[in-house]
Amino acid sequence: MRIEEIEVFWLRLELPDAVADAMTDLTHWDVIATRVTTDDGIIGWGYNCTLAEGSAALKILIEVDLAPKLLGKDPLQVNHLWRTVYLERHFTGITGIAVQGVAAPEIALWDIIAKAAGKPLWAILGGHGVTRVPVYSTDGGWLGFSEAELVANARTVKAAGFRGFKMKVGKPEIAEDCQRLAAVRDAVGPDYPVMIDANGRWDLAEARRAVRRFADYRPYWLEEPLHPFDVPAHAALARETEIPILAGETLYDKRMFRDFMAAGALGIAQPDVLKLGGITCWMEVAELARSFGLPVVPAGFNLMQIDVHLMAVTRHGLMIEYIPWLAPIFERPVVIDRGHAVVPQEPGIGTDIRADAIERYGMA
């Protein structure tokens, strides 16, 4: 089997008004989809996402630099190809787009491997047949919602059976975040998981003030409180609070995770299949977390199609994130049933993009 053709499609979807976190007002969501065709006619799909920034650069990186290295190669050699392509990119950079760009073709190769075997990805990765994985919802916890909207959304999410409700924090005043969290806690009861995500907004002093005030409302985890690369600050915060610190969605290398884990800076690891350049490294980070005794939560971020497989093979995985914006573009969007994602049984991953979605949302 040889890779015969690699095509890249840039899609842009418009988002609802209230979608904001502590760092970004999101208006659009981009998908950089990669279709890889083999000489025996198997088509694999992978994708990348951006907040509508850097998309053109990602597309060019894949088309101009990565695709020529993959044409003619055997997709079954994904591990070797990943290392070759990734390591060759070191001059361009070892974080950001230079790594993230590898993810879409890498995921497409796994899709081909699974389709060629006639099995879903989780089975190729050694899964044993988990049929449902728990899901928490972020769609309703955005910073742009008023307190009343936030509370109503939390109630709706809980009633729909989701295993938790994640809300963004990082308002200009910590007191306001605290009031919003208190209102949500009051609405959903004492035991329902409520996660909070600061998207790297605070410095250590602010984060210390925040965790002291938040502790009474028992957040299930505190996500990305600090600059994503600051190991000592995360470690200091983790020593001071019983709220589990979850981070990793902005880390680009297994060694970065190792340093966080070795410093005691993480309570829960959050590897992102895009930021890590694909499935190969995601699995390595999940295994690393297991060796440190840490649970794993996939970064989510519109990756349900892939996360559902990863979660199905990760025994120390907790749950995946529900953000439904991309459902219209997939041939087979993940099915959510009473707070669980149904693990696909069809061959491949489920990353196939609809032809009419490329027509409708396609950019240059």
Residues of this chain that bind Mg ion (CB under 5 A):
197, 223
Nearer to Mg ion among residue 112 and residue 256 (C-beta): 256
Nearer to Mg ion among residue 120 and residue 248 (C-beta): 248
The CB-side HSE value for 4 (13 A sphere, CA atoms) comes to 8
Q: Rounded distance, CA 86 to CA 132, Å?
A: 33
Q: How many CB atoms lie within 10 A of CB 276?
A: 29
Nearer to Mg ion among residue 138 and residue 351 (C-beta): 138
Structure token digits, residue 331: 């041939």
Nearer to Mg ion among residue 139 and residue 223 (C-beta): 223
Nearer to Mg ion among residue 39 and residue 53 (C-beta): 53
Structure token digits, residue 17: 């008004």
Closest contact distance (angstroms) between CB of 264 and Mg ion is 21
Structure token digits, residue 221: 């985890």
Three-class secondary structure of residue 13 per DSSP: strand
Cα 7 → chain centroid: 23
Instruction: Answer whether 251's CB lies under 8 Å from 228's CB.
Output: yes
Q: Is 48 exposed, middle or buried (CB count within 10 Å of its CB: 0-12, 13-18, 19+)?
A: buried
Closest contact distance (angstroms) between CB of 301 and Mg ion is 7
Closest contact distance (angstroms) between CB of 180 and Mg ion is 17
Closest contact distance (angstroms) between CB of 168 and Mg ion is 8
Position closest to Mg ion via CB: 197
* Run of H or E residues at 182: helix 174-188
Closest contact distance (angstroms) between CB of 12 and Mg ion is 21
Nearer to Mg ion among residue 30 and residue 272 (C-beta): 272
Nearer to Mg ion among residue 139 and residue 197 (C-beta): 197
Q: Is 345 exposed, middle or buried (CB count within 10 Å of its CB: 0-12, 13-18, 19+)?
A: exposed
Closest contact distance (angstroms) between CB of 225 and Mg ion is 11
Residue pointed to by tokens 């219209």 = 328
Closest contact distance (angstroms) between CB of 246 and Mg ion is 8
Single out the residue of 307, 348, 346, 347 nearest to residue 326, CA to CA.
Answer: 307
Nearer to Mg ion among residue 30 and residue 223 (C-beta): 223
Closest contact distance (angstroms) between CB of 224 and Mg ion is 5
Single out the residue of 202, 213, 229, 195 nearest to residue 297, CA to CA.
Answer: 195
Closest contact distance (angstroms) between CB of 356 and Mg ion is 31
Instruction: Answer whether 154's CB lies under 8 Å from 186's CB.
Output: no
Q: Is 112 exposed, middle or buried (CB count within 10 Å of its CB: 0-12, 13-18, 19+)?
A: buried
In the chain, beta strands by DSSP E: 3-14, 28-38, 43-50, 132-137, 165-168, 194-197, 222-223, 245-247, 268-269, 320-322, 336-337, 340-342
Find the helix packing angle between 231-240 and 254-262, rounded to 10°: 40
Nearer to Mg ion among residue 106 and residue 197 (C-beta): 197
